[in-house]
Amino acid sequence: MPDIVLCTHNARWIHAAFGLRCLRSNLGALREQSVLHEFTLETRAADAAERILAERPRIVGIGVYVWNAQVSRELVAVLKRVAPAVAVVVGGPEVSHECEQQEICALADHVVRGEGDLAFAALAARLLAGDRSAPHLIDAPPPHFDELASPYAEYTDTDIAQRVVYVEASRGCPFTCEFCLSALDVPVRQAPLPAFLADLERLFARGVRHFKFVDRTFNLNLAAARAILAFFRSRLCSGLFVHFEMIPDRFPAALRDEVAAFPPGVLQFEVGIQTFDDEVSARIARRQDVARLEDNLRWLRDATGVHVHADLIVGLPGETMAGFGGGFDRLVALRPHEIQVGILKRLRGAPIVRHDVEFEVVWSDVAPYEVLATRALAFDELQRLKRFARYWDLCANSGRWPTTLPLLLGDAPFARFLAFADWLFATATTTHGIQKHRLARALFDWLTSHGGLAADVAGAALAADYARGDRHDWPEFLRPWAVGTAAPRAPSPWQHRAASRQARHS
């Protein structure tokens, strides 16, 4: 039986917890006395506790993040009630700040604040040696990479075959955007390049083809970025996919050459735009050159095969509905493949709260602590924009409606899509569980009743999009426009039931 259980609740099963692997790889002599347990948000706290305690551990380390804060608190409460002798240690971004305000911190035996790779190992050694004098709150100084063991051997064959594999070439961020915990005084540290490239080679040899870099500023270090891109370019193969988070207004010519050399479909860049409003950017200490940002995004779309995922934030202090809408339209014109409309969250410790009084910011007190209202955006306006974000994922980011979407957006993307979102919520009364055929009907009805399109134009576009995907539920109303598509007739009900049964067992 292991003495140490390291666990967390992931947002989805496909996400492998990188932080747990960093902790386990740095346990040294205690590593073989440890085991990882990963749950999803669907796993109830009592069920997670049962699986943990079946290992008969002496120490339980729990990774706490904004997305699992509630279930983590419940898990700690259960563990301390049914197994009070087990030492419960919590760590992670959610409990690294404002500990005095959090019940989970009061319940846990120890709280590791900061990057716990080495601090947790030292604490575990003390606890297993019978030393119970360690403080309740333990502040972990940021370690340097040359102090750390590589975490990549902790990925199992199942992880590599079926889950997202995370890697990091650096930690920290030089920027001070107040909505982000990276705004705090944490230095940027670069992984030693030869050792990191050797880690990538070992992962590649084991079959990893999807690499997701967690670096906040991948293109900050030009030499390292070029070397890593060259590594992947020399290993181009079927299925290779690499995700980076990039600084959109810092893209030197030397890096452009490396990026342009990749074929389409290999690279994905997540670029944080957040806002186009210079006044809002200055208010939250975000430094970006919008003109250079726009030039770089145009170049990525026109001259490379990079899949561009761009982020905008709703609810920044002082940004109005019209201001956000203008930024949205500006971003749509730059043609990123995806636009992630994120709702501002109050991450514990982030400096964004200094604007609460002046800009009348109201936050939810339930994780993930989304903004509920500001002086510039009333509660009902933010509710509309949250629905806008959800429906945008369904209609645009899903990639299912490439022919229909331009008709939906017209020459006023924000205004038209907001009108559609308002109408869809009034019609469907939900933002979840809207199946594809139901959404197709809703798009058709809005386009023909409110969007100014003839039925033949809307129907032909929807039929073309429907024919690209899974057509087992081809809507009856689209059949007049199915000529020339691959779905001239619907499958029989028997075929549909057989396919559903097979899907459940695959």
Residue pLDDT, tens place only, 161-194: 999 999 999 998 888 899 998 767 667 899 999 9
- 366 within a domain of the structure (yes/no): yes
Q: Give the per-residue pLDDT at 140.
A: 96
Both tokens of 315, joined, read 């609810």
Same-domain pairing of 436 and 492: yes
Q: Give the per-residue pLDDT at 494.
A: 25
Which residue carries 């050797």 as its tokens? 198
Q: Which of 115, 145, 175 is the last residue of a domain?
A: 145
Is residue 380 within 8 A of residue 425, CB to CB? The reply is: no
- 362 within a domain of the structure (yes/no): yes
DSSP line for 351-414: GGGGGTTTTT-EE-SSTT-BEEE-SSS-HHHHHHHHHHHHHHIIIIIT-S-TTHHHHHHTT-HH
Q: Give the per-residue pLDDT at 76.
A: 98
Same-domain pairing of 205 and 118: no
Instruction: Report whether pLDDT(101) > 70.
Output: yes
Tell me the CA distances in angstroms from 95 to 43, 68, 92, 116, 347, one per residue in order: 21, 11, 6, 12, 10
Same-domain pairing of 208 and 357: yes
Same-domain pairing of 255 and 301: yes
- 391 within a domain of the structure (yes/no): no
Same-domain pairing of 486 and 403: yes
Residue 418 is part of which domain span?
398-506
- 383 within a domain of the structure (yes/no): no
- 382 within a domain of the structure (yes/no): no
Which amino acid, one-letter code, is at 181?
A: L
Cα 365 vs. chain centroid, distance in angstroms? 21
Tell me the CA distances in angstroms from 419 to 398, 422, 426, one per residue in order: 20, 5, 11
Give the CATH number for residue 72: 3.40.50.280
Is residue 149 within 8 A of residue 26, CB to CB? The reply is: yes
Same-domain pairing of 404 and 480: yes
- 159 within a domain of the structure (yes/no): no
Point out the least confidently predicted range of 3-7, 150-154, 285-289, 316-320: 285-289
Which residue carries 């992984």 as its tokens? 191
Is residue 428 within 8 A of residue 434, CB to CB? The reply is: yes
- 388 within a domain of the structure (yes/no): no
pTM: 0.90
- 473 within a domain of the structure (yes/no): yes
Same-domain pairing of 87 and 220: no
Same-domain pairing of 357 and 284: yes
Same-domain pairing of 253 and 354: yes
Q: Are strands 307-314 and 267-274 parallel, antiparallel or unpaired?
A: parallel
Instruction: Report whether pLDDT(279) > 50.
Output: yes
Same-domain pairing of 136 and 186: no
pLDDT tens by residue, 347-374: 999 999 999 999 999 999 999 999 999 9
Instruction: Report whether pLDDT(501) > 80.
Output: no
Q: Is the peptide bond before 368 cis (omega within 30 degrees of 0)?
A: yes
Q: Give the per-residue pLDDT at 504.
A: 31
Is residue 283 within 8 A of residue 318, CB to CB? The reply is: yes
Q: Give the per-residue pLDDT at 184.
A: 75
CA gyration radius, the chain: 25
Res. 491 pLDDT band, cuts 50 70 90? very low
For residues 74-78, give the mean pLDDT. 98
The number of domains in the chain is: 3
Q: Give the per-residue pLDDT at 471.
A: 60
Q: Give the per-residue pLDDT at 308.
A: 97
pLDDT tens by residue, 462-489: 999 988 875 667 888 998 998 655 443 3
Residues 6+ apart with CB under 8 A from 93: 64, 65, 66, 181, 347, 348, 349
Q: Which of 320, 345, 377 is the last residue of a domain?
A: 377
Is residue 284 within 8 A of residue 371, CB to CB? The reply is: no
Assign residue 56 a region: left if phi > 0, alpha if psi is -120 to 50, beta otherwise? Answer: left
Give the CATH number for residue 208: 3.80.30.20
